[in-house]
Amino acid sequence: MFKFNLRLGGLLAVLMLSVLLVACGDATSTPAATTAAVATTTVAAAATTTQAVGAASPAVVDSGSNAVTVAGQINSALPKLAKKDKYRVGFAQSESDNPWRLAQTASMKAEATRLGYDLVMTDAGGSTAKEVSDVESLIAQKVDVIFLTPREEKPLAIAVLKAKAANIPLFLIDRNVDQTQAKPGRDYITYIGSDFVKEGQTAGEWLIKATSDKAKIIELEGTTGSSPANDRKKGFDDLIKTHPNMQIIASQSGNFTRNEGRQTMETLLQAHPEVTAIYAQNDEMAIGAIAALEAAGRKPGKDIIIVSIDGSKDGIQEIVDGKIGAIVECNPRFGPVSFDTMQKYVNGVQLPVQIINVDRFFDSSNAKDLVSTAF
Ligand code: AHR
């Protein structure tokens, strides 16, 4: 009887294995299913890595050195980039009013210099309209390729389409455009940057723990209409909504700058003195908020818990000084990964439609050791 059961068990196991193999075969033979599966897996991998990094991270992280990719089809009708010894590379920067932007520009310039390419850079100075005309000017100058960091999602999608119409390959770096207007692989080559939704979620997860799941939160948002402001809000707010004792009492833009972060915080503090936590969508606004809190006699880091995003030197120093609790990194060192991706495109390598940077996480356990590695 026992022998018979063993045999029957073996037979059943073989049968189940065959069913599984057939199922796998079906999935891989359907292109749509394969792409979806790859994309889901890689996005999930990015999420895990973002959370897992921390004290064990390398000293200085080049933005693309351990990026995670999202598979997808790059349309062969997109503008091509011929092999050349030297390129004229257009780079449209949105503004230069904070350390993050300066670090991004420095990284792009350094890599262009290292490769011996001409970098034709424009700076929109915080004006979305100017950035649209900056891209038009790069098109008129007939640069070989354009790297664009779009200030706002919707208006810059139009500029992306203009580059495509002019047959100039365009890569989005750092910020994205409205996906209903322009898509990677169809209208521009690919997107290289951080997972902003995940950044917001990670900040929220830390804040929930740090406040024992009970807080009255002020949210300082970045530039209205920009992809980091939209996505960081989504990641944070969607998570916080599921925690009934975590309450967002006010949410307002500080435009990603220290000064506007301070001014916004001054106003909100008067209207909401009951605040116990601040989520600042970047370090500069967090530092501005600290100034406003201290001027009002409040104690950042003690009676008001702060979490932010970026990982600037000044920001991490605030962790060392006990005023900011934690920072989710958003790495601005785009030079190496941008030019490497461009080279791959020249060489006909099949590119993913998204290249997601792996960011670190800073808190009191590693801030002192890592502050010197920050921008
Ligand atoms: O797009 C990235 C964001 O833009 C950074 O968090 C911020 O500091 C910058 O202005």
The answer on 301 and 208 residing in a single domain is yes
The answer on 284 and 168 residing in a single domain is no
pLDDT the model gives residue 373? 96
**Ligand 1 atom closest to residue 256's alpha carbon, by position in its atom list:** 10
C-alpha angle with apex 341: 339 to 346, nearest 5 degrees?
Answer: 95
d(CA 205, CA 207): 6
Q: What is the pLDDT of residues 347-370, one digit of tens each?
A: 999 999 999 998 999 999 999 999
- Overall average pLDDT of the 215-239 stretch: 98
- Checking if the pLDDT of 300 tops 60, the result is yes
The answer on 341 and 252 residing in a single domain is no
pLDDT the model gives residue 73? 76
- Overall average pLDDT of the 285-300 stretch: 98
Contact 111, 143 (CB under 8 A): no
- Checking if the pLDDT of 282 tops 60, the result is yes
Q: How far is the CA of 257 from the centre of ligand 1 (A)?
A: 9
- Overall average pLDDT of the 70-87 stretch: 88
The answer on 325 and 254 residing in a single domain is yes
Q: Quick one: what percent of the chain has pLDDT higher than 70?
A: 82
Lowest-confidence pick of 1-10, 144-153, 254-263? 1-10
Highest mean pLDDT of the ranges 14-18, 36-40, 188-192? 188-192
Place of tokens 């818990």: 305
SS3 146: strand
The answer on 287 and 265 residing in a single domain is yes
CATH number of the domain where residue 221 is located: 3.40.50.2300
The answer on 151 and 95 residing in a single domain is yes
Lowest-confidence pick of 75-89, 116-130, 303-317? 75-89
pLDDT the model gives residue 70? 77
- Overall average pLDDT of the 11-30 stretch: 35
Lowest-confidence pick of 12-16, 284-288, 311-315? 12-16
Does residue 62 lie within any of the structural domains? Answer: no
User: Where do the DSSP E strands lie in 115-245?
Assistant: 118-123, 145-148, 170-173, 191-193, 215-221
Contact 327, 301 (CB under 8 A): no
**Ligand 1 atom closest to residue 282's alpha carbon, by position in its atom list:** 6
Dihedral, CA of residue 122, residue 127, residue 131 and residue 137, to nearest 10:
-70
pLDDT the model gives residue 66? 63
The answer to whether the predicted template modeling score (pTM) of the entire model surpasses 0.95 is no
Residue 247 banded pLDDT, cuts 50, 70, 90: very high
- Checking if the pLDDT of 279 tops 70, the result is yes
**C-alpha distance across the termini of the chain, in Å:** 72
SS3 240: helix
Does residue 173 lie within any of the structural domains? Answer: yes
Q: How far is the CA of 216 from the centre of ligand 1 (A)?
A: 25
The answer on 220 and 104 residing in a single domain is no
Instruction: Give the residue from 277, 222, 295, 284 showing the smallest Cα distance to 259.
Output: 284
Lowest-confidence pick of 36-40, 86-90, 111-115, 317-321? 36-40
- Checking if the pLDDT of 212 tops 90, the result is yes
The answer on 142 and 90 residing in a single domain is yes
Place of tokens 């960011």: 359
Q: How far is the CA of 26 from the centre of ligand 1 (A)?
A: 43
pLDDT the model gives residue 77? 86
Does residue 111 lie within any of the structural domains? Answer: yes
Q: How far is the CA of 187 from the centre of ligand 1 (A)?
A: 24
Q: What is the pLDDT of residues 23-76, one digit of tens each?
A: 333 332 222 222 222 222 222 222 222 222 222 232 334 454 567 777 777 788
H or E segment to which residue 355 belongs: strand 354-356
d(CA 185, CA 169): 11
Lowest-confidence pick of 19-23, 68-72, 167-171, 196-200? 19-23
**Ligand 1 atom closest to residue 97's alpha carbon, by position in its atom list:** 10
Q: How far is the CA of 309 from the centre of ligand 1 (A)?
A: 9
Does residue 5 lie within any of the structural domains? Answer: no
pLDDT the model gives residue 21? 33
Pocket test for ligand 1, best of 63, 101, 236, 356 (most atoms within 8 A of CB): 101
DSSP string, 162-183: HHHHTT--EEEESS---TTT--
The answer on 87 and 128 residing in a single domain is yes
The answer on 286 and 172 residing in a single domain is no
The answer on 136 and 81 residing in a single domain is yes
Q: Work out how many domains the chain is built from and give that number.
A: 2
Does residue 258 lie within any of the structural domains? Answer: yes
Q: Mean pLDDT score of the chain, rounded to an integer?
A: 86
Pocket test for ligand 1, best of 97, 256, 283, 331 (most atoms within 8 A of CB): 256
pLDDT the model gives residue 76? 82
Q: What is the pLDDT of residues 94-135, one digit of tens each?
A: 999 999 999 999 999 999 999 999 999 999 999 999 999 999
Give the residues surrounding ligand 1 with Cβ less than 6 Å away.
Answer: 98, 100-101, 174-175, 228, 256, 282, 309-310, 330
Q: How far is the CA of 345 from the centre of ligand 1 (A)?
A: 26
The domain in which residue 99 lies consists of 76-194+334-346+353-358
d(CA 255, CA 127): 12
